[in-house]
């Protein structure tokens, strides 16, 4: 089982991250691959809190976009 870390989720969504392309490709590879993987609910909670926080990102990701 592959567990996806919060940072990979953040980097895959935030195009301003220097690791955006690599993280997005890693997520795509998991989604299209045949190996079992999962995102723990605390990582999802942390992801939403980080990307939508105006003190961390300017501009922050909208809640609607974070939940897509």
Per-residue pLDDT of the chain (68 residues; tens, 9 = 90+): 999 999 999 999 999 999 999 999 999 999 999 999 999 999 999 999 999 999 999 999 999 999 98
What pLDDT is recorded for position 3?
A: 97
Range(s) of the domain holding residue 13: 2-66
Contacts of 12 (CB under 8 A, 6+ apart): 20, 23, 24, 26, 27
pLDDT of residue 10: 98
Q: How many domains does the chain have?
A: 1
Q: What is the pLDDT of residue 46?
A: 98
Q: Tell me what percent of the chain is helix, strand and coil, each rounded to the nearest 5.
A: 55, 5, 40
- Which contiguous run of DSSP H or E holds residue 8? helix 6-13
């Amino acid at each position: 089982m592959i567990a996806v870390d919060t940072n990979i989720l953040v980097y895959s969504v935030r195009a301003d991250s220097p690791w955006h392309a690599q993280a997005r490709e890693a997520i795509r590879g998991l989604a299209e691959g045949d190996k079992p993987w999962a995102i723990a609910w605390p990582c999802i909670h942390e992801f939403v809190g980080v990307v939508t926080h105006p003190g961390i990102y300017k501009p922050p990701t909208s809640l609607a976009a974070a939940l897509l």
